[in-house]
Structure 1
Amino acid sequence: MSARTASIILSAVLVVYFVLLGGRALALFRDGSPIAVALGVGVVLLPVVGVWIVWSTLRFGTRTAELGRRLAAEDGLPDTSDLPRTPSGRVDRSAADAWFETQRAAAEQAPDDWRSWYRLAVAYDVAGDRSRARDAMRKALELAEV
């Protein structure tokens, strides 16, 4: 199953969950007591926050995929196939760190190029730093205006 299919299925499951939560919120509102109404408001806020999280995550994913397609069309995707791997399939830590340094240097030399930030995001990901990978990808998206 592809990541796209999995995210669509999980989003559909969340929609069902949010509808069920909405029913619970209505029951709490109908009760009328201040505590029940306050809990109902809380139950309504959960799906709102959940929808926002799902929307922003899916939007980030589609925008990132678009950048990947653009970079692939330019034959500029980073290639990690020659990096040594551990038996589990992960890139060897020292190799990932060395490759990361080359990508970081390239991003420092071209700070306004979204392509260098995209490659830096991949380097962060290969090195295992997902948080900085997302930040670098956000910078790439900002520069590419996708």
Structure 2
Amino acid sequence: MSRIGVGLMAAALLVYLAVAVWLAVMFISVGTPVSIGMGITLLVLAPLGAWALVREMLFGFGADRLGRILDAEGGMPPVETELTPSGRLARADADPLIARYTEAAAAAPSDWRARYRLGVVQDAAGRRKNARASIREAIRLFRA
């Protein structure tokens, strides 16, 4: 189901880019300084937005692939504590778990599995920025 959503987002991205370029050309063809500025802005921002979306899609594909591999191997971190109603780790339980998985990742710096597990635990603790960095590093290690 999520692959269908990704396909729809890719199609929407192509439509967006086509419309943005068409509008940019139309703005520039008007010839006033304001319209030329708007056209140039569209020509810069549209590809920048597309690049960001493609980058996030590639991250999602990579993270999903590694998660499926690790799950098939039975290597996903087990749920060791009670979760909050939102599905997160309780604050009191999060720090010791993150410390343990951080030590495991530091002990095996070239092991993508350890880095991915750290990212999963960080995400469960609500530390999205750190989790994304850990999973991004796991993807990099997997490719290397």
Is the shorter-chain TM-score for this pair beyond 0.5, marking a shared fold? yes
Checking the alignment, whether the CA contact within 8 Å between 2:87 and 2:124 is kept in structure 1 is no
Structure-2 separation of matches of 1:14 and 1:30: 24
Q: Deviations over 1:13-71 (max 9, x none)?
A: 34333333223212111112333222201012121011101111111111111111221
Higher mean alpha-carbon deviation, 36-45 vs 4-13, is at 4-13
Say whether 1:116 aligns with 2:114: yes
With over 3 angstroms needed to count, the CA separation of the structure-2 counterparts of 1:4 and 1:90, relative to structure 1, is farther
Checking the alignment, whether the CA contact within 8 Å between 1:83 and 1:96 is kept in structure 2 is no
Q: Give the counterpart letter for 2:140 in structure 1.
A: E
Checking the alignment, whether the CA contact within 8 Å between 1:117 and 1:140 is kept in structure 2 is yes
The alpha carbon displacement at 1:4 in A equals 4.0
Q: How does 1:1-146 map to 2 (within 5 A)?
A: 2-80=1-79, 82-145=80-143
TM-score, scaled relative to structure 1: 0.85
The alignment covers a number of residue pairs equal to: 144
The alpha carbon displacement at 1:114 in A equals 0.9
Structure-1 separation of matches of 2:98 and 2:92: 10
Question: Partner of 1:88: helix, strand, or coil?
Answer: coil
Checking the alignment, whether the CA contact within 8 Å between 1:124 and 1:130 is kept in structure 2 is yes
Q: Give the counterpart letter for 2:104 in structure 1.
A: A
TM-score, scaled relative to structure 2: 0.86
**CA RMSD of superposed structures (Å):** 2.0
The alpha carbon displacement at 1:99 in A equals 1.6
Detail structure 1 runs of 4+ shifted over 6 Å in the superposition.
none
Percent identical pairs in the alignment equals: 35
Higher mean alpha-carbon deviation, 71-80 vs 14-23, is at 14-23
